[in-house]
Structure 1
Amino acid sequence: MTNWNLLAEKVLQGKEISDQEALDVLECPNDELLQLLHSAYQVRKYYFGNRVKLNMIINTKSGFCPENCGYCSQSRDSSAPIQKYRMMDKETIIKGAEQAHRLQSGTYCIVASGRGPSKRELDIVTSAVEEIKSNYDMRVCACLGLLKPEQAERLKKAGVDRYNHNINTSEHHHDNITTSHTYHDRVATVNHAKEAGISPCSGVIVGMKEKKEDVIQMARALKALDADSIPVNFLHAIDGTLLEGTNELTPAYCLKVLCLFRFINPMKEIRISGGREVNLRSLQPLGLYPANSIFVGDYLTTAGQEGSKDHIMIEDLGFEIDYVNEEDLV
């Protein structure tokens, strides 16, 4: 039996866990799961206390994506019956910020499908962000696909605090998920955001037929990228996508993945993201022992848990909502 408390102490001493220790976390026997969660919580509590960051997404452009990502209902190869629409206008995006404010979200995430933003789309987003930042004390995150350096600079100038571009999977597994862009294209976009002075957000999707070793590589890659915020998505396989019918995850395994990401990226925001409700199911509250952030409201093309239930879950745990403050706006 692994001594999970000693593993937490090792992490808190600033040491990296080994590949074997990382694999032990993912293969933790279920009858030791509570001990594992307790040790991950010690790390989470040290850096974040019992605070929970809330994030809300607005899907400003749905469908019409030329990429072939196997998990995505908006992909060119998807036949999923989703709502499709072109870029929203500025006013609609600003109204979404009002809703995020009502839901007590510290971060408002402006997301658009596509390979990367057009000039018109970038104009709409930057104009909306300028007005949102003048009206609300919240962090704004943009997720618009692959970025060029000059586009990252425009977003920074408009007031974008954070840019999300997920690596999604390991470099080794990437070509099994998409071939219309490379793993290095994704890494380059994260670096462009960093170079423009925007806080980098990058995460993963677990459950896409990868190996446990791939999950470990994902967590280490994000440590190397120094991502400030790490969304951990669990595949919600949508009918009509290339990964339709994939169902590899259990609630217990999802919790082990969250513990692993906490141990490898101890000081970072670990966010339970897409697929939380369908994969963690009744164990959702336990996910907040290793993770310190969640999305509230709906995701891109799938529904999330009602916001009030998330607030109740946080309150029932004895945790509290972590409101945005000036030092977070980097």
Structure 2
Amino acid sequence: MKQVQTKRDWKKLAYDVVEEKMITKEDAIAILEADDTEILEIMNAAYIIRHHHFGKKVKLNMIINTKSGLCPEDCGYCSQSIISEAPIDKYAWLTQEKIVEGAHEAIRRKAGTYCIVASGRRPTDKEVNHVIGAVKEIRETTDLKICCCLGFLNEDQAGRLAEAGVHRYNHNLNTHANNYESICSTHTYDDRVDTVQKAKQAGISPCSGAIFGMGETIEERAEIAFELQRIDADSIPCNFLVAVKGTPLEGQKELTPVECLKVLAMMRFVNPTKEIRISGGREINLRSVQPIGLFAANSIFVGDYLTTAGQEPTADWGMIEDLGFEIEECAL
């Protein structure tokens, strides 16, 4: 049988990264453009970096959607936007009691981080106070790390969330700056960067990632990873577009499982010390190769997403155990 020759020495590149040498944009593009037959070599190389920094630990995160739909923004990928015709549940804020109950469910699912998410452009001060009330009770009764994703923040709101004990704030860049106007017209790319910076300035760990497969070029896909490096996101969710019927992007071709794996590997090479999470679209886009993704990523969501279903927690626990990996509980 003819041996497949790889075009690059991916292991050497990985060991260079372990020795704190940054890869170039050309290297990142090469990962994304590599022949599919090289995917196992690439994932093996990504694992060298992942294992060096995180060993066999996998972080579990759980989302609670505290306010669903009713969003005035026109993000083309989102089933909760004002222009979406997707049949989703729409409701105003959950009570503080429900939010706290969700935290205890997160513990039952072996999650270490609990993500409080609300749709909308930005929270009012009253809504921030509502979240803070729940956060304080969760902090008093659990060891969970708390992440919030509430939209744009001003400096005062970011400061109050930090004071209440919010560990992390999620605000994704979503796509490349060049591609932003094609997916949203009601706010700008710079608006999103500004909120990430405000959270960081308040002392909250910044969580920011992207949704891949929204029409960005391969070069832009690589540049997103370097932009996340530039803004120093501590946690990087890698979402893969789920083309939801009733949204403007419903006809967009979704990424293949191997394309998703290349994104995860590339992100690990560019951001070697950061938490990289396989996020939205994991079950739908990666399908049967989900376990391979954890050779680059070190974090997943457990349970459902905002408006799409995830797999059962027991399936995720089993996947992690089958890989010989370990769940890292209550860890940021």
TM-score, L = length of structure 1: 0.98
Structure 2 residue 257 is matched with structure 1 residue 257? no
Distance in 2 (CA, whole Å) between partners of 1:16 and 1:64 is 43
Say if 2:63 and 2:301, in contact at 8 Å, map to a contact too: yes
Structure 2 residue 145 is matched with structure 1 residue 139? yes
Instruction: Structure 1 unaligned segments of length 5 or more: list them.
Output: none
Say if 2:243 and 2:254, in contact at 8 Å, map to a contact too: no
How far 1:121 moved relative to its partner?
1.4
Picking from 93, 99, 111, the partner of 1:105 is 111
Picking from 74, 90, 111, the partner of 2:96 is 90
Q: Which residue of 1 aligns with 2:251?
A: 245
Q: Which runs of structure 2 are paired with 1:47-196 in the superposition (5 Å)?
A: 47-196=53-202
Picking from 279, 288, 292, the partner of 2:294 is 288
Percent identity of paired positions between Structure 1 and Structure 2: 57
Instruction: Structure 2 unaligned segments of length 5 or more: list them.
Output: 1-6
Picking from 217, 229, 240, the partner of 1:223 is 229
Distance in 2 (CA, whole Å) between partners of 1:19 and 1:155 is 36
Picking from 46, 49, 53, the partner of 2:52 is 46
How far 1:300 moved relative to its partner?
0.3
Describe the SS at the equivalent of 1:172.
helix
Picking from 268, 274, 279, the partner of 2:274 is 268
Say if 2:63 and 2:305, in contact at 8 Å, map to a contact too: yes
Structure 2 residue 296 is matched with structure 1 residue 312? no
Picking from 322, 329, 332, the partner of 1:323 is 329
Q: Which residue of 1 aligns with 2:283?
A: 277
Deviation per CA, 1:30-78: give whole Å up to 9, x if none: 1111110000000000000000000000000001100010000000110
Structure 2 residue 26 is matched with structure 1 residue 32? no
Q: Which residue of 1 aligns with 2:210?
A: 204
Distance in 1 (CA, whole Å) between partners of 2:190 and 2:292 is 34
Partner AA of 2:124 in structure 1: S
Distance in 2 (CA, whole Å) between partners of 1:179 and 1:11 is 38
Runs of 4+ in 1 over 3 A off after TM superposition: none
Q: How many correspondences in the alignment? A: 326
How far 1:6 moved relative to its partner?
1.0
Distance in 2 (CA, whole Å) between partners of 1:94 and 1:126 is 11
Say if 1:270 and 1:292, in contact at 8 Å, map to a contact too: yes
How far 1:120 moved relative to its partner?
2.3
How far 1:245 moved relative to its partner?
2.1
How far 1:104 moved relative to its partner?
0.8
Describe the SS at the equivalent of 1:173.
helix
Partner AA of 1:226 in structure 2: D
Distance in 1 (CA, whole Å) between partners of 2:118 and 2:94 is 9
Deviation per CA, 1:153-202: give whole Å up to 9, x if none: 11011110000000011111111111111111100000100111000000
TM-score, L = length of structure 2: 0.97
